[in-house]
Amino acid sequence: MQRTFSTVLFDLDGTLLDTAPDMAWALNQMRIQIGNEALDFQLIRPHVSHGSFALSRIGCGAVEGSDEFERFRLGLLQIYSDNIARETQLFDGIAEILGELESRSIPWGIVTNKPSCLTTPLLQQLELSNRAAVVISGDTVPEKKPHPAQLLLAAERLNTLPGECVYVGDAERDIAAGNAAGMLTVAALYGYLSADDTPATWGADNMVRTPTELNEWLFPT
């Protein structure tokens, strides 16, 4: 069945880009600086989509809101910012989706809670800045996902109706935001989900285990 959409929007971490290796590396570098052992990558990975606060909760050991916690979080962000694209790359199969969208003149964009001070240089280093038709970061508007404001702004900037957009994300807040915006939503199960996540209850229009499945859903033969 041919799907009707005019735009595809992606979450960034855990959906479009596999940023976990670099964020985990930065977290462990910060732990080593304060005299702690590195954490196992598989322990860190499920927390990556939830940003610096979530990573600091598992990495710091101090009470959230304390000066020690905030020093750790800011140090983590500085290390990550200085090493933002050591190993980060598109998930396997995403390049083919972007190529297919571009060959069909279908614009694609990014809507992420990641702040622009990290989003912008990351996309520049991966040579994606000029390809994305719109980029909405976590500080573009006051409200972040699960609020729909970022997604609605993306649709407005692309001069398209929300109902003609697909939003793909790997977290419950992504699906909640997309549904609230009136978009088609796809849960990316290949992303940074934890054992406690229950994507079947999120209300997504579809769930995909790989980018290849997403490609097949977007462009059925």
> What does 96-163 look like in DSSP terms, one character per residue?
HHHHHHHHTT--EEEE-SS-HHHHHHHHHHTT-TTT-SEEE-TTSSS--TTSTHHHHHHHHHTT--GG
Q: Which residue has the tokens 């996540």?
A: 197
Residue 11 annotated among the catalytic residues of the structure: yes
Q: How far apart are CA 193 and CA 67, in angstroms?
A: 29
Using CA atoms, how far residue 189 sits from 58, 150, 193, 206, in Å, is: 22, 22, 7, 10
Max CA pair span of the chain? 56
Distance CA 165, CA 178 (A): 9
Cα–Cα distance list, 97 to 92, 149, 189, 212, 217 (Å)? 10, 26, 16, 8, 11
Structure tokens at 214: 């997403």
Measured distance CA(204)–CA(87) in Å, rounded: 30
The residues annotated with a catalytic role in the active site are 11
